[in-house]
Amino acid sequence: MKSPEQKQFYSITELTREFEVSTRTIRFYEDEGLIQPIRRGRTRLFKPSDRRLLMLIMRGKRLGFSIAEIREIISIYKEPPGEGGQLKLLIEKVTEKRDQLLQKRKDIDETIAELDQVEEQSLTRMAELGVGR
Amino acid sequence: MKSPEQKQFYSITELTREFEVSTRTIRFYEDEGLIQPIRRGRTRLFKPSDRRLLMLIMRGKRLGFSIAEIREIISIYKEPPGEGGQLKLLIEKVTEKRDQLLQKRKDIDETIAELDQVEEQSLTRMAELGVGR
DNA sequence: AAAATTATTTACGTAAAAGTAAAACCCGCC
DNA sequence: GGCGGGTTTTACTTTTACGTAAATAATTTT
């Protein structure tokens, strides 16, 4: 079986709709070297791999990573199988990014726990005041 | 027993050291209304509650929240016990923020999983090339 | 073919979150 | 009693991540 439907190319507006960003934003990411769409004439054509990179970028943005940091993460994925010394370096980079992410997850869990407390207290208070109001 | 040592007041430089930010940054947060240190003469004095707010702010920054969003989160904690309608609204706010955080956690877990894969492949590759190199 | 739409390039603009610099103030102290 | 440290205010500057607008070109629609 083949994959359900692999599109050859995406237009810039298709992607702006999918990711809810402007064309300016996508071109900006190209300027920043995060994606490299090919051209037909002057028009950009985005491959599935560009689309995947955009998903990565958006995820990074949601996590509060800067463009520079997102570039680093992407470069980790792109690194070729490589030899010896490079691999050790790569693993160090991975470890560093993972540590950052673990810190963020800790922050999230703490914040969620606090929000849960607020909610619980609110619910208790509402019950005291006579429910359904 | 009392708490191990509750300081009455912190100076601005004490806090810049603890949180590794500049005085400019702390004053900026005051301008933004996130903290309200009291004054002795013109000098700012920060209470433990201000310090706790700063911890909250830093945590929010690590998670990529903007000042405006951090302000919202703080306002959730500050909301007084309140009555009826306010409480329902508060719970809605809590739910919204929590959803944002859960999305972020999902993003984090995905990214960590991908990084784990990169690491695993690297380790395998290193083993192939003859270990300790 | 004219008109409308869609995409590109170039360039200036902007909001957020501070950085930086200058000038003045207060404070203890040797 | 001047001096070095820390603090404050004011104001200008910078960086990041785009927004916006104008002019041009290519494509599609009528």
Give the mean pLDDT per block of 10 residues along chain A (133 residues): 72 96 98 96 96 98 98 93 82 96 98 97 90 56
To test the contact with chain A by mutation, choose from B98, B99, B120, B121 the residue with the greatest count of A C-beta atoms within 10 A, namely: B98
pTM: 0.91
- Average pLDDT on B33-41 reads 95
Q: 3-class DSSP state for residue A78?
A: helix
Cα–Cα distance for residue pair A51/A4, rounded to 1 Å: 16
Q: How far is the CA of A32 from the C1' of C11 (A)?
A: 17
| CB-based contact A75:B74 (threshold 8 Å) | no
Q: How many residues does chain B have?
A: 133
Distances (CA, A) of B71 to A8, A62, B82: 45, 18, 19
Q: How far is the CA of A64 from the C1' of D22 (A)?
A: 33
Residue B3 has pLDDT above 60, yes or no: no
Cα–Cα distance for residue pair B32/B69, rounded to 1 Å: 12
Interface contact flag, A118 B76, Cβ < 8 Å? yes
Cα–Cα distance for residue pair A25/A56, rounded to 1 Å: 14
Q: Shortest CB distance from A98 goes to which of B63, B73, B112? A: B112
Q: What is the pLDDT of residue A50?
A: 97
Helices (H), chain A: 12-19, 23-31, 48-62, 67-78, 84-128
Asked whether residue B44, judged by its CB, lies under 7 Å from any atom of the DNA or RNA strand D, the reply is: yes
To test the contact with chain B by mutation, choose from A55, A56, A63, A88 the residue with the greatest count of B C-beta atoms within 10 A, namely: A63
Q: What is the pLDDT of residue A130?
A: 76
Q: What is the pLDDT of residue A1?
A: 55
Among the listed residues B8, B14, B11, B15, the one whose alpha carbon sits nearest the alpha carbon of residue B44 = B11
Cβ atoms < 10 Å from Cβ of A29:
20
Residues 6+ apart with CB under 8 A from A22: A16
Q: What is the pLDDT of residue B132?
A: 55
Among the listed residues A76, A113, A66, the one whose alpha carbon sits nearest the alpha carbon of residue A98 = A76
pLDDT band at B1 (very low <50, low <70, confident <90, very high): low
Nearest C-alpha in B relative to A103: B62
Q: How far is the CA of B29 from the C1' of D12 (A)?
A: 20
Residue B27 has pLDDT above 60, yes or no: yes
CB proximity B103 to A under 8 Å:
yes
Residue B115 has pLDDT above 90, yes or no: yes
- Average pLDDT on B59-65 reads 98
Residue B2 has pLDDT above 80, yes or no: no
Q: Shortest CB distance from B118 goes to which of A94, A115, A119? A: A94
Query: How much is the mean pLDDT over chain B?
Result: 92
Q: What is the pLDDT of residue A2?
A: 55
Helices B67-78/B48-62 angle, 10° precision = 130
Residue pairs between chains A and B whose CB atoms are closer than 8 Å: 117
